[in-house]
């Protein structure tokens, strides 16, 4: 069987790597750009390691950790430092309550002692302990559940900046089922989410172990991409191949690329973003029938300073900025604190994120304008006495998938629509069943398993 994989990000490379274990399958990968990695882009400057896209992955999700082990690059992993993170409110940095799970305190003590909420806000949030369970027979916005349980103040000041940054959208629109399924399950099992958070904390490693949840590599996340590419047959990887269209050719598929190349494949794994994939389906007007998945636009801005030029900042790993503050910044990571191996001694690396939902126009500005706005915002929050040694700006235009209410059902409808016309075209990647790197690896492996099982079934017939 001939299989074409479209897209050279972590999903596509994971699929190609898995298929390379099956000699009965002839698999090739086609990437539109000159580089592999998708949203993994590690930039090296002198002794700095700057992530322009994803900066880490969750270790508790097993798929990527298993791949790292198989590739023999475990010795290059580093764990994040687990210092305090903050939220900016009223021009002051307030510690995120601890212990907590995804921002939800695991007892009344951290909730009542936080400086982030007013007395009224704390009392309203405490009602979570006595309010009846929410009815969650259908998918709802994550914000709808959290506002019901905790009130607006806790959502707007704490949960919105924390969770909307992870899932690239407003909590008032994000699907609870697709972004935070664990909380949907907990909300139906426990009357109180605070009690549910307490149950989660009891399963976590003992306090004081200082073991972070996230992993990256000493030389950046690009390490896993380079390891995958090194393991694969280079003849099976085709860069500068942008797919233009896919057509049925009997029981096969004809792929046409922008550079004039054509390929015939028995099966296709589409790992590019859903809006890109949708434009390539030409049969039966399928492209027009597939609703496009909305993507959020963000930019990352890395600023390097001498340590002496940033004389005062909160003792932690970074902070979040809720909407309503007079700045384009929505989050800042103190890279030298969170990932010390990425920054040489004597220097500070601040990585800022801009492009809040509904206020994404800043992403379209020039580098100079973006950097000027970021420095202006940082100067209100930190004691900065000098100018950056250098900066790096990376834009991600409509690249962050936004899972709004009903996402899971829409994905099922997309797959059914594609399958009706292209029975052996599979959809996988961040647009569908999870945005994290382990989620993408899982989807790539699942797609290969479907193909391998199909080959086995064909052999039996």
Bridge partner list, 304: 349, 390
- pLDDT recorded at residue 164: 84
Annotation: CATH topology of 96-203: protoporphyrinogen ix oxidase, domain 3 (1.10.3110)
Determine the straight-line distance between the first and last CA of the chain, rounded to whole angstroms. 15
- pLDDT recorded at residue 302: 98
Task: Please list the pLDDT of the chain residue by residue as tens digits (461 residues).
Answer: 999 999 999 999 999 999 999 999 999 999 999 999 999 999 999 999 999 999 999 999 999 999 999 999 999 999 998 788 999 998 889 999 988 888 899 899 999 999 999 999 999 999 999 998 878 889 999 999 999 999 999 999 999 998 887 888 899 999 999 998 888 888 888 779 998 888 777 776 544 445 688 999 999 999 999 999 999 999 999 999 999 999 998 889 999 999 999 999 999 999 999 999 999 998 888 888 888 888 899 999 999 999 999 987 888 899 999 988 888 999 999 999 999 999 999 999 999 999 987 788 999 999 999 999 999 999 988 899 889 999 999 999 988 999 999 999 999 999 999 999 998 999 999 999 999 999 999 999 999 999 998 877 776 65
- pLDDT recorded at residue 68: 98
- In the chain, where are the structural domains located? 2-38+62-76+221-293+405-460, 96-203, 295-401
Q: Distance (Å, rounded) from C-alpha 181 to C-alpha 169?
A: 16
- pLDDT recorded at residue 414: 94
- pLDDT recorded at residue 207: 42
Nearest to 192 by CA among 117, 118, 109, 107: 107
Q: Distance (Å, rounded) from C-alpha 269 to C-alpha 16?
A: 10
- pLDDT recorded at residue 422: 92
For the domain made up of 295-401, the CATH class stated in words is: alpha beta
For the domain made up of 2-38+62-76+221-293+405-460, the CATH class stated in words is: alpha beta
Decide whether 2-38+62-76+221-293+405-460 matches 96-203 in CATH topology. no
| Location of structure tokens 């801005």 | 301
- pLDDT recorded at residue 208: 43
């Amino acid at each position: 069987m001939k299989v074409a994989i479209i897209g050279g990000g972590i999903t596509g490379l994971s699929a190609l790597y898995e298929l390379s274990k099956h000699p009965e399958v002839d698999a090739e990968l086609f990437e539109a750009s000159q580089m592999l990695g998708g949203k993994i882009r590690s930039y090296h400057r002198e002794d700095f390691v700057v992530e322009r896209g994803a900066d880490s992955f969750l270790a508790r999700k097993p798929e990527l950790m298993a791949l790292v082990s198989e590739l023999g690059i475990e010795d290059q992993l580093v764990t994040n430092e687990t210092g305090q993170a903050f939220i900016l409110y009223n021009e002051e940095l307030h510690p995120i309550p601890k212990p907590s799970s995804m921002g939800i305190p695991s007892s009344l003590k951290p909730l009542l002692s936080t400086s982030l909420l007013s007395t009224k806000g704390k009392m309203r949030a405490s009602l979570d302990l006595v309010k009846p369970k929410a009815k969650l027979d259908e998918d709802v916005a994550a914000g709808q559940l959290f506002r019901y349980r905790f009130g607006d103040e806790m959502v707007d000041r704490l949960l919105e900046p924390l969770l909307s940054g992870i899932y690239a959208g407003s909590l008032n629109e994000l699907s609870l089922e697709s972004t935070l399924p664990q909380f949907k399950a907990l909300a139906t099992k426990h009357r109180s989410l605070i009690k549910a958070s307490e149950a989660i904390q009891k399963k976590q490693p003992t306090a004081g172990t200082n073991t972070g949840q996230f992993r990256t590599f000493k030389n950046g996340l690009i390490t896993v991409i380079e390891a995958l590419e090194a393991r694969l047959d280079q003849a099976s990887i085709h860069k500068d191949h942008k797919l233009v269209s896919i057509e049925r050719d009997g029981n096969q598929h004809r792929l046409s690329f922008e550079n004039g190349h054509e390929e015939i494949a028995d099966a296709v794994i589409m790992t590019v973003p859903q809006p890109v994939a949708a434009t390539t389906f030409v049969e039966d007007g399928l492209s027009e029938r597939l609703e496009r998945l909305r993507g959020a636009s963000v930019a990352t801005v890395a600023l390097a300073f001498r340590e002496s030029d940033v004389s005062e900042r909160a003792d932690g790993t970074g902070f979040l900025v809720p909407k309503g503050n007079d700045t384009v910044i929505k989050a800042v990571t103190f890279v030298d604190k969170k990932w010390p191996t990425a920054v040489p001694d004597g220097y500070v690396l601040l990585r800022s994120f801009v492009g809040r939902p509904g206020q994404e126009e800043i992403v379209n500005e020039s580098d100079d304008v973006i950097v000027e706005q970021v420095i202006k915002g940082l100067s209100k929050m930190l004691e900065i006495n000098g100018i950056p040694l250098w900066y790096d700006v990376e834009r991600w235009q409509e690249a962050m998938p936004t899972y709004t209410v009903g996402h899971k059902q829409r994905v099922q409808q997309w797959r059914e629509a594609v399958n009706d016309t292209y029975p052996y075209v599979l959809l996988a990647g961040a647009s569908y069943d999870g945005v994290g790197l382990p989620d993408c690896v899982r989807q790539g492996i699942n797609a290969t398993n479907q193909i391998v099982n199909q080959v086995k079934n064909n052999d039996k017939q």
